Amino acid sequence: MVDVAQLVEPRLVMPVVAGSSPVVHPICIAHIEELYCLGYIDEGSSMFKDYNLTNISIPLKVLFTSYLCVVGIGYIMATAQILFTHGMADGKFGLSIDDIVYSYYGNRSGTVLENKLDGSMKENASDADRLAIIKWVHVGADEVSFKQRGINTIFENNCLACHSTEAGMGLPDFSHFETIKNYAQVDTGASFSSLTRVSHIHLFGISFIFFFVGLIFVMATHVSTLLKSLAVSMPFVSQLMDISSWWLTKLDPMFAWVVIIGGTGMGIAFAFMWVVSIYEMWLMPHDDG
């Protein structure tokens, strides 16, 4: 049985055996060579042969720039959020190795409540209230003393605005004593269930961000193919390094350095692609390649 395969030009018709690939047919090969000669196919060129960041239309530049600006601000906000959460794990502002260790491996010299009250939650209660909670933890954190010492009132006044189901913030619900009791145990860092939840969110969400940033960046003209390849792959490699090191740090604090390296790699790649893309769209002269 013979089918008819239509190639690039409507008038070029070639019979091929059903199930075979027309690409290996001599006529097809000759036609592809003709396209090379005419300049329609440029071997070794970028994926956008006729378009680059300098010669695309103004509306497309505005679209790309708007996206880059929004995700750029989002990246800054994400960095600030890390500084005010993980970065306060040791009670001092700024991200350190101790912050990473306490966040994932835990500070096993004390309980979760103690470490939070001396760390990221330090500003949310007075010194007297924090001391009262810590003393309650040290005497056994039982339900009777929870009420006798007025610890329940401290939690109601300082914690339930965020730590409750009604607040809808996804934080532990401290309106139930059982939840508070669980946090009066030795601090072993992030749980495996929370690591699973955060890992899959980051793997899906951040991959999309870097895919579109990279898609814009590959249209740059004054960056070598090798450097482009390194820049677009670096965020994905760094992301895998970063997230896998969360799990490794949970098992052994020595891997906390890998978290820092992975996060830094993502930041460098993002900043480089962002700056080059904006510069070529708006500051470089028009270039048709």
Q: Are residues 262 and 131 in the same domain?
A: no
Q: Determine whether 249 is exposed, middle or buried from the number of CB atoms within 10 Å of its CB (0-12, 13-18, 19+).
A: buried
Which residues of the chain are modeled with pLDDT < 70? 1-49, 289
Choosing from 138, 157, 182, the residue where a domain stops is 182
Q: Are residues 268 and 195 in the same domain?
A: yes
Indicate the number of domains in the chain. Answer: 3
Contacts 24+ apart (CB under 8 A), 178-181: 180/113, 180/141, 180/146, 180/155, 181/141, 181/143
Q: What is the pLDDT of residue 196?
A: 97
Give the pairing type, strands 2-6 and 13-17: antiparallel
Give CA–CA dist 243/277, Å, rounded.
27
Choosing from 137, 165, 182, the residue where a domain stops is 182
Q: Are residues 205 and 275 in the same domain?
A: yes
Q: What is the pLDDT of residue 118?
A: 85
Q: What is the pLDDT of residue 236?
A: 98
Assess if residue 7 is contained within a domain.
Answer: yes
Q: Are 143 and 177 in contact (CB under 8 A)?
A: yes
Q: Are residues 68 and 207 in the same domain?
A: yes
Q: What is the pLDDT of residue 122?
A: 85
Residue 239: domain span: 58-84+190-280
Choosing from 182, 203, 221, the residue where a domain stops is 182
Q: Are residues 80 and 203 in the same domain?
A: yes
Q: Are 108 and 186 in contact (CB under 8 A)?
A: yes
Q: Are residues 77 and 196 in the same domain?
A: yes
**Residues 10-46 pLDDT 10s:** 434 444 444 444 444 555 455 445 544 555 444 444 4
Assess if residue 288 is contained within a domain.
Answer: no
Q: Are residues 273 and 194 in the same domain?
A: yes
DSSP H or E run through 158:
helix 151-158
**Residues 129-174 pLDDT 10s:** 999 998 998 888 999 999 999 999 999 999 999 999 888 888 899 9
pTM of the full structure? 0.71
**3-state SS track over 121-148:** CHHHCCHHHHHHHHHHHHCCCCHHHHHH
